[in-house]
């Protein structure tokens, strides 16, 4: 499993080893093939806002965006491939504000956002009521692994 991490923000220091460990645990739990590759970008509100506007038509910052390269081909949340699974982009700026609002650490918030993004990359979605419930249950299940 190859995990590519890029940090283009200066708000907090990113522990890449810890981030890779979180991603590996989540993907193993989701039974994703070890040959899969994923990339994660840590950025600020300005950059994620431009992506959110370009790809979703929403001209405001968001916490996490996922771009699956398996879209339309994933028949099940269990992904078995030797391809690039996709990209996760996280705004550390928004994550930091959310962590403060929820009165928990930035590390916890980043873990929650990584779990959410990884679920999207593996075929989960929350746009419809049925998918929302399934995805929230899976998020809760995985959060327990990290004692969140």
pLDDT higher than threshold 80 for residue 55: yes
Least confident of 30-34, 46-50, 88-92, 98-102: 30-34
Task: For residue 36, give the nearest of 75, 70, 71 by alpha carbon.
Answer: 70
Looking at residue 76, its pLDDT comes to 45
What pLDDT, on the 0 to 100 scale, is given for residue 97?
A: 97
> What Rg, from alpha-carbon coordinates, does the chain have?
15
Q: Answer yes or no: is pLDDT of 71 > 70.
A: no
Q: What backbone torsions phi and psi does residue 41 show, to the nearest 5 degrees?
A: -120, 125
User: Across-strand partners of 67?
Assistant: 87
Q: With a threshold of 0.85, does the pTM exceed it?
A: yes
CATH code assigned to 2-145 = 3.40.390.30
Q: Where are the domains of the chain?
A: 2-145
Residue-wise pLDDT for 10-37, tens only, equals: 999 999 999 999 999 999 999 998 889 9
C-alpha 49/C-alpha 87 separation (Å) is 16
Mean pLDDT of 42-55: 97
Sheet holding 64-68, edge to edge: 2-7, 37-43, 84-91, 64-68
Q: Please, what is the average pLDDT of the chain?
A: 90
Least confident of 68-77, 85-94, 129-138: 68-77
Report pLDDT for 143.
95
């Amino acid at each position: 499993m190859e995990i590519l991490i890029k940090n283009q923000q200066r708000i907090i220091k990113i522990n890449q080893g810890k981030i890779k460990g979180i991603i590996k645990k989540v993907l193993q739990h989701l039974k994703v093939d070890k040959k899969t590759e994923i990339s994660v970008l840590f950025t600020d509100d300005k950059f994620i806002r431009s992506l959110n506007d370009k790809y979703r038509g929403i001209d405001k910052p968001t916490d996490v965006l996922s771009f699956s390269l398996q879209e339309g081909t994933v028949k099940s949340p269990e992904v078995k491939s030797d391809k690039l699974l996709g990209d996760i982009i996280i705004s550390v700026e928004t994550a930091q504000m959310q962590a403060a609002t929820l009165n928990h650490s930035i590390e916890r918030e980043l873990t929650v956002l990584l779990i959410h993004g990884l679920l999207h990359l593996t075929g989960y979605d929350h746009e419809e009521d049925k998918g929302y419930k399934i995805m929230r249950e899976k998020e809760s299940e995985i959060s327990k692994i990290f004692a969140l």
